[in-house]
Amino acid sequence: MEDMIGKAAREFVDIFGENATHYGDAPGRVEVIGNHTDYNDGFILAAAIDRRIAVVGRRVEGALARVYSRTFNSGASFPVAEPLKTKDNPWLNYVMGVVWQLRNKGIGVDAFEAMVLGDVPLGAGLSSSAALEVATASFLRALNGFEMDPIDVALNSQAAENDFVGMNCGILDQFTSAMGRSERLVFLDCRFLDRYSYYPLGNGVKLVIANTKAPHALVDGAYNRLRASCFRAAAICAEKFPDKKISHLRDVNPEELDQCRTAMGDEDYRRARHIVTENARVLASAEALQRGDYRAMGGLMADSHASSRDWLGNSSPELDVMVDLALEIPGCFGARLSGGGFGGATINLVGADRAEAFAEKLGERYREKTRIDPEIHLFTAGPGAEGGKL
């Protein structure tokens, strides 16, 4: 961690010719269980991973922010008072979105220069975008000296993603990046962001992320369609049970949902059914973790995948292959698709002593079966975001 900030500071001198004075850095994240539950006001279990993005820099005179990404070897500048979305440097939108959102809240941001450097694998379902947003917010907080607790850093970053970048994500990614802890999974009740807790993820297990690398398109549109289905289903349940004050699927149990089945389209019903059962699986997973029962936790992860596949409908043939293969390999407690879906990556909970061999086998078998080269990473749970003076 120190290293990434130190490296970024050296790169800063290289590009800007001066020393950086402040830093922010934040980890990528992995959704362990709780698929599409976050924007339904439900529950999630996730981990910050031990890969991070650092943003280091200093205040300058004038009206412009100049930002350089060592990862993309490209730099750009923008007026801090008026950031505008760009197509030329998509990564810059995450930085600009955070500045834009801070200013919307009336928080002054001075002109600055910054270097971005990280080792969160890109496009691997590890939310490098949330890591960049949260790192940027942590850096700007340190540089400009305003108070903002980590939950507000997460909310600010989510708002940047929703309203500036234009991706309607829930709070899972940014919250986990801001609030993660070493050797812990973060449990969050997404309705009450102050209801979070930590569950031990000891040395006995590793998180293995397997990126299917299968090409997928229209992911944002598909994500929004799932969201819309969930909100429509919740509205129908609210009408049927006015006394229950239902605002989200979080407030609905499977029996109530079934009573509304004919009032909603089949597709909305199926998607909603995934959400209401998934919430129960997250709660059961937290209990299993508390007991150190990885077998039970793994079983719930496998059920979660089946539910995403059969009810929510956001799996893909490659994700299914990756999960099925994983479950046959010794040492694997559980496997499921993770994140938005429709392609992307799976998360596997694997006994630590078997994790390397597992990753190798999984890669081999997936390659054989699909002729696609996957990308497989081993992670442990790492700490959340930080920021401060260099």
CA dist 122 and 339 (Å) reads 14
CA dist 173 and 129 (Å) reads 9
Considering CB under 6 A, how many residues would be counted as binding ligand GLA?
A: 11
* Residues across the chain: 390
Q: What is the dihedral of CA 213, 215, 220, 223, to 10 degrees?
A: -70
Please state the φ and ψ torsions of residue 314, each to the nearest 5 degrees.
-115, 20
Nearest residue (CB) to ligand GLA, 170 versus 374? 170
38 contacts ligand GLA (rule: CB under 6 A): yes
Stretch that binds ligand GLA, among 36-44, 236-244, 293-301, 357-365 (CB under 6 A): 36-44
Residues carrying an active site annotation: 173
Per-residue 3-state assignment (H helix, E strand, C coil) for 28-80: EEEEEECCCCHHHCCEEEEEEEEEEEEEEEEECCCCEEEEEECCCCEEEEEEC
Please state the φ and ψ torsions of residue 346, each to the nearest 5 degrees.
-110, 155
Stretch that binds ligand GLA, among 85-93, 168-176, 194-202, 281-289 (CB under 6 A): 168-176
At closest approach, how far in Å is the CB of 333 from ligand GLA? 20
CA dist 271 and 112 (Å) reads 45
**Contact pattern for ligand GLA over residues 227 through 266, marking x by CB under 6 A:** ----------------------------------------
At closest approach, how far in Å is the CB of 64 from ligand GLA? 30
At closest approach, how far in Å is the CB of 161 from ligand GLA? 8
172 contacts ligand GLA (rule: CB under 6 A): yes
Stretch that binds ligand GLA, among 35-43, 88-96, 146-154, 326-334 (CB under 6 A): 35-43
333, burial (CB in 10 Å: exposed 0-12, middle 13-18, buried 19+)? buried
354 contacts ligand GLA (rule: CB under 6 A): no
Query: Reduced to 3 states, what is the DSSP secondary structure of residue 327?
Result: helix
140 contacts ligand GLA (rule: CB under 6 A): no
Cβ-proximal residues to 369 (8 Å cutoff; 6+ apart), any chain = 321, 325
Helix or strand run (H / E) with residue 349:
strand 345-351
344 contacts ligand GLA (rule: CB under 6 A): no
CB-CB neighbours of 136 under 10 Å: 30
The residue whose Cβ lies closest to ligand GLA is 169
List binders of ligand GLA among 313-342 (CB under 6 A): 339-340
> Of residues 12, 35, 94, 115, which one binds ligand GLA by CB under 6 A?
35
> Of residues 4, 8, 20, 169, which one binds ligand GLA by CB under 6 A?
169
* Residues that bind ligand GLA in the complex, under the rule CB under 6 A: 31, 35-36, 38-39, 169-170, 172-173, 339-340
